[in-house]
Structure 1
């Protein structure tokens, strides 16, 4: 009897140690997309008015191919958003609402990371979120993954005490490789620290277990360049296991990358040691000007797009290169329709389409 008990205990321990999780690639089938709707409670009415059209446009395009889960700040906001969508002729059949207070709109970074376990069951990983190194308020947004898990009845893996990790800071190829910038993951510089004292090895071990990867490729990145300390999803994305989409050298320099990081990015290889095929997008031809006429100091990136079930939402800027980039991306996703989403006003606040969307994979 004791031998049987010991064997059972050993098997259970072995299973627990072997349990890893898989982060499905973005282009795999979705149950839906999560959006945190802009509100006026944190940054004022003008902020909301300037960026809200982007959410209207995204909802219109997404709802025909998957669920759209909208997080509204309170019930008054829920009613206002419902009326707004109705006025814009957007069907609500595939749209639902959750009412949770939020600090801002960046659900890619603070929201749930949906993964699958060894049995294919969908779970939520709740990584820590601290407002990109405590640059902004974050307490409400940090609660979002747990709230969603409770409401949906999905098991939540609480990693808050283990590691701060923003969804936009990592890219995976769906086949064992993850790429990230040290500046936005493990930097210990004041004002940018995510997890105090974390080492590169510790971060890699977390990624290996909770994203299901076996290889982590690091760029140095640039701490303090922007709010995110250089998220990788601004200039690089995996299309599939063998192909990445990025920018030419001029575009990468425009985004702030160093020669060293450009060389590392271009030489990156998959789990089989085969260098990724590269598809190059331009930056915008001109520096971005907001829809209300403010001239910004930066050009825009098209890499920060979002792949949904039927559409690919691409950030557009009213720039001559919009159509060039849309065509290149369309060629990579022949079964989906590329739709340009005007992000000019959102870009003023440091983000684009991928930053404000979060996929929930199909499955049980």
Structure 2
């Protein structure tokens, strides 16, 4: 393949952010009502400095969402709507991956999505990248037959390195298979071509630990080409990482062979309790944050460590403002802020 693509780092300038708004068609109205505040808070924060592209299930839902935004006095200038049926909210995993070609033009990669190994309905969400491409007039590269790949399963440092867990990319264990028969080498070749990286670092991860089979964006993120943010070994072990994986993570090196500087952020002090009072079994992670234009949206849990984590993350992004987003009810369903956002980098679209 002569053409390779480049995946712009999340912290580079955005045209906007894509959100799949929660609806009642899959999990019912109670679910929608419990998680919706997170979307209201994200939209309010994001629309100040970039476009917010809201995907509504249908016209009825669009009207309902419009009403909610008006009730919350959120300006509509930077907000637009697309109407597509979706199965759920996790646009990081099923949405478009925006990359640049050799001329610097933006296009969409449409990787396969199969509901994290066919654990949940996925047919509607799998169509989202194609639908967006058609609607905004962007060229779409169809990779559906080549490889299933979720955006939350990989992290890149913006300078040639990609990190992922085998468990959520190439595992062949029943109930978690993304791409049947894919080898590690084949996955690496795909990443090198379509993300423009030259080095892939693999953790083993844990298949079946959660719906995602351990996505990397729950416990590790690159801040820049020299620095990663993660958690201490005790918190990582509590999240299910093996000693081997913790060692691989801590000793990881960039393209120059230099070990990444590490910034450690704690997990929540306590196990998370939802906003409606249900006690969950896990502590929450702050690493699953989203870097937008001039702001950083950080998952918050009504926990003493919210303040601590927000400050640590704020120190890493001095030109942006950290905004805590309450994700307690969303966390019950296994995700946080990064899982439900997808950036569209600034730039001219390839036609």
TM range (shorter): over 0.9
1:21-60 residue pairs with structure 2 within 5 A?
Answer: 21-60=5-44
1:227 counterpart = 2:227: no
Q: Tell me the equivalent position of 2:78.
A: 94
TM-score (norm 2): 0.99
Structure 1: how far apart are the matches of 2:204 and 2:295? 33
Give, in angstroms, the shift of residue 18 of structure 1.
2.1
Give, in angstroms, the shift of residue 325 of structure 1.
0.2
Give, in angstroms, the shift of residue 199 of structure 1.
0.1
Give, in angstroms, the shift of residue 255 of structure 1.
1.1
Give, in angstroms, the shift of residue 361 of structure 1.
0.2
Structure 2: how far apart are the matches of 1:310 and 1:111? 23
Q: Tell me the equivalent position of 1:302.
A: 286
1:279-318 residue pairs with structure 2 within 5 A?
Answer: 279-318=263-302
Structure 1: how far apart are the matches of 2:134 and 2:52? 18
Q: Which ranges of structure 1 fall in alignment gaps of 5 or more residues?
A: 1-16
Q: Find runs of 4+ consecutive structure 1 residues off by over 2 angstroms.
A: none
Structure 1: how far apart are the matches of 2:342 and 2:183? 27
Q: Tell me the equivalent position of 1:141.
A: 125
Give, in angstroms, the shift of residue 253 of structure 1.
1.0
Give, in angstroms, the shift of residue 251 of structure 1.
1.2
* 1:129 maps to which of 113, 123, 146: 113
Choose 1 or 2 for highest CA Rg.
1
1:213 counterpart = 2:232: no
1:106-121 residue pairs with structure 2 within 5 A?
Answer: 106-121=90-105
* 1:73 maps to which of 51, 54, 57: 57
* 1:104 maps to which of 76, 82, 88: 88
Q: Deviations over 1:210-258 (max 9, x none)?
A: 0000000000000000000000000000000000000011110121100
Structure 2: how far apart are the matches of 1:250 and 1:359? 32
Give, in angstroms, the shift of residue 304 of structure 1.
0.0
* 1:85 maps to which of 63, 69, 75: 69
* 1:267 maps to which of 242, 251, 256: 251
Q: Which ranges of structure 2 fall in alignment gaps of 5 or more residues?
A: none
1:220-259 residue pairs with structure 2 within 5 A?
Answer: 220-259=204-243
1:352-363 residue pairs with structure 2 within 5 A?
Answer: 352-363=336-347
Structure 2: how far apart are the matches of 1:177 and 1:342? 31
Q: Deviations over 1:71-92 (max 9, x none)?
A: 0000000010011000001000
Give, in angstroms, the shift of residue 67 of structure 1.
0.1
TM-score (norm 1): 0.95
